[in-house]
Structure 1
Amino acid sequence: MDKSWIFKDKDSLEYEVGVESFLIFAEENSKDPKNIPCPCGRCVNFRKYNVKVIQGHLYKKGFSFGYTDWIWHGETSSKSVRSSTFLPKEQNAQSETVDVCEAAYNLDDHDSYDFNRFVADAERPLYKGSECTKLESMLKLYNWKARFGISDSAFTELLTSIGSFLPQDHVLLVNAYEAKKTLSDLGLEYIKFHACPNNYILYRGINLNASECPKYRLSRWKVAKDGKLRVNSPAKVMWYFPIIPRFKRMFKSPDTAEQLIWHSKQQSNDGQMRHSADSPSWRNIDYRWPSFASDPINLQLALGADGINPFNNGLSNRYSCWSIVLVACLIYL
């Protein structure tokens, strides 16, 4: 089916004919014609309406950017067809993936709506004719900022300078604040906790308002050269990256969701160990918590530690870092 009309002007006859053909297709393949996902640029397949409402949305807002495989309206994804040659065939694999994604969406109605609106906007080309998207450019530049410890003010100046070299219709972010907000919308937010310089406590819970470590009697705040405390300037900070929002984001992609439930839908039983689901530990969890194991979107994680220059073995790194993922716990989504 020719879908080039999706990218045409919303006032053109070709676009109107295309919208009508889509509505007919969607209504014919819908289980409930009164509750069809709306693919407009605002609803991005999250809100459900009847065809009359969807028609008005598509004429006003246009199609969600990049929605050319109508997987939410009964069409098989071309990406899924290609990937199926590498996996055991299963008749309802695509519909099962869609069901899993819908279950993840329903976990947080408002959050999912905002996220999908953000993605539709972020996937816009950086400027007309550019192969780089707004989101891709932001991630590359912010990664550079983090690698070299660039200050927010310097980063804002850089964005302003780059923007002056681009065409006038560019959508590059204009300052560091917008870049941080974009990362937060992606579900990559973080939480800062003040910590004891000797790593004994975090200043949270019963220690939220404490000013010194109860064991080492070290101040919570930095001490200036003149010996005075720099209140509100913590001596040490721990950065916490919430893991549940990241898991939810993973299920928002049909391709990623298909991989996350592979152990439930595609796992072979030939006695060979090819996946963590073939291990005794995984099967032990399935045996002990059958209700948890029955839902494929519940994730099982493993305990792993990847040391990055932990003992500073003569290398030039300024710091050492242990990247640790705790697990073997049960995570209900």
Structure 2
Amino acid sequence: MDKSWMSKNRMSDEYKAGVEAFMQFATQNLTNEELISCPCSACGNLTSKKVELVRLHLLSRGMDLTYTKWIWHGERFAPSGSMNYLDQMRNDDHNFLSEEPIDMVHAAYEENDNPGEFIKLLDDAEKGLYPGCVKYTKLSAIVKLYNLKAKHNWSDKSFTDLLSLLGDMLPAYNVLPSSLYEAKKTLGTLGMEYEKIHACPNDCVLYRKEYVDYSNCPTCGVARWKESKNTSLKKRVPEKVLWYFPPISRFQRMFRSKHIAKDLAWHADERVQDNYLRHPADSPSWRKVDLKWPEFGNEKRNLRLALSADGINPHKLMTSSYSCWPILLVTYNLPPWMCFKRKFIMLTMLIAGPKQPENDIDVYLAPLVDDLAHLWSVGVRTYDAYRDETFLLKAVLLWTINDLPAYGNLAGCKVKGYHACPICGEDTYEKRLKCSRKISFTGHRRFLRESHPYRRQKKAFDGTQEFNKAPKPASGADI
């Protein structure tokens, strides 16, 4: 049916005709002739009302614009593209209670080669939480509960106890899993995979590619596996593990959502361009990429990324020497009020402690660098759900976000000693203090304008006047 009337003026004839067409469609599929769900902007299908009252609400309050699939009034959710052949494999008695969990299943299926798992997951997305439930499906309930677990840092045991208690409270024949293990098995089929890559305890190499079968480090000779007193154990435990969450499949999944796919082109379609700096798209770095690689810049859906890295102590006050390093990716295509939401900051790597990797962090970044290089030079075929088309997705890393010590590790730049300033370099004004045996840095007056009175003052500073010009930051070629 034509649904363009939903966004029209409520006083227009087109909107009124659309309301009448919707009411006719909704009432001809009714099983209860008295009440139907009210889809107005205030009720949002949360309450059922008489037919005439629903018509009055739609005319006075307007239609909920997010209600594009009329599943509460008889419209069946029809998958698009390659998913159509699966209609014959599904039972016609399924209730399509929610569009969101079904969209999650379709996104996962693009990366899943097992049709059996897909059909089972689709059944979980369509099946009510208990007989007669019209608000939650098995999959949507598990996802919402698991989000609460992550948000409030619930322990695994407390989450299992909660699932067991909720199962007892719900009506009989409910399908809520009774333990965290069962919930993880259901969520695991969504394709949120990760890789555990073994690493040398001395941060020499990762046991991948040509080193995947090695038992000792080819550089320092340290054993890959922990020594166990129980020799009967067949499963060996690695000394150190890198947790890697591949970003490519997650970028593709972002475009599988119609709303997110639309927002990923916000910087080109909706951003105000008036020479004011409101978004990274207004920065010189962004414009330089567009000018230097116009083929990349012409595709507005290509991703602009930033990498953030720093050490944290997950044990809080229990220990002060443990350092765990998360590596995050930020997507700048999104509007500024969405860029740094938790939902869109992507954890790509977790470098376990207890010692920080320091200058050997490049060893751990190798898998991520390979994926980012592939996204830049080759790209991946990606389906855009908003525009209903497939395109070649590429990405570029604009910059890194970190403090000064981490900057030294990531960029290989001096951040200690006499030449600690990354801007001044060898022209750093440094002086070693005799009593404290520390290095102090002066010469900041160079960055003032040439006519500034501070440049000529002696007593207020180190007894000298400053006439030198400010140093220029090194270019990429110089670095």
Q: Please, what TM-score do these two structures have when normalized by structure 1?
A: 0.59
Pick aligned residue for 2:97 from 37, 56, 65? 65
Indicate the percent of aligned positions where both proteins have the same amino acid. Answer: 38
Match of residue 209, structure 1, among 213, 220, 236: 213
What are the residue-to-residue correspondences of 1:1-333 with 2, within 5 Å? Answer: 1=19, 2=22, 12=31, 40=76, 43-47=78-82, 60=92, 64-67=96-99, 108=110, 118=121, 121-122=124-125, 126-127=129-130, 128=133, 133-140=140-147, 143=150, 148=155, 150=156, 159-160=163-164, 162-225=166-229, 232-309=236-313, 315-316=317-318, 319-325=322-328, 330-331=375-376, 332=379, 333=393
User: Displacement, 1:167?
Assistant: 1.9
Matches of 1:184 and 1:274, distance apart in 2? 39
The amino acid that maps onto 1:316 is M
Flag the 1:131–1:122 CA change in 2: closer, same or farther, 3 A.
closer
Counterpart residue identity of residue 322, structure 1: W
Q: Is the 8 A contact 1:163 1:170 kept in 2?
A: yes
Q: SS of the residue aligned with 1:183?
A: helix
**TM-superposed deviation, 1:240:** 0.7
In the alignment of these two chains, the number of paired residues is: 263
**Scaled by the length of structure 2, what TM-score is found?**
0.43
Amino acid at match of 2:236: N
Q: Is contact 2:96-2:126 (8 Å) kept?
A: no
Residue 302 of structure 1, CA deviation:
1.5
Counterpart code for 2:324? C
* Bigger RCO (CA 8 Å, 6+ sep): 1
1:281, CA displacement in angstroms?
Answer: 1.3
In the aligned structure 2, how far is the partner of 1:286 from the partner of 1:116?
43
CA distance in 1, matches of 2:84, 2:287: 42
Q: Which runs of 5+ in 1 are unaligned?
A: 15-38, 69-103
Counterpart for residue 88 of structure 1: none
Q: Please state how far the C-alpha of 1:188 moved relative to its aligned partner.
A: 2.1
Q: Is the 8 A contact 2:97 2:128 kept in 1?
A: no
Quote how far apart the aligned CAs of 1:208 are. Answer: 0.9
Secondary structure of residue in 2 paired with 1:194: strand
Aligned-CA RMSD value: 4.8
The one-letter amino acid paired with 2:92 is K
**CA-CA distance at 1:118 after TM superposition:** 4.5
Asked whether the 8 Å contact 2:163–2:177 carries over to 1, the reply is yes
Structure 2: how far apart are the matches of 1:58 and 1:3?
29
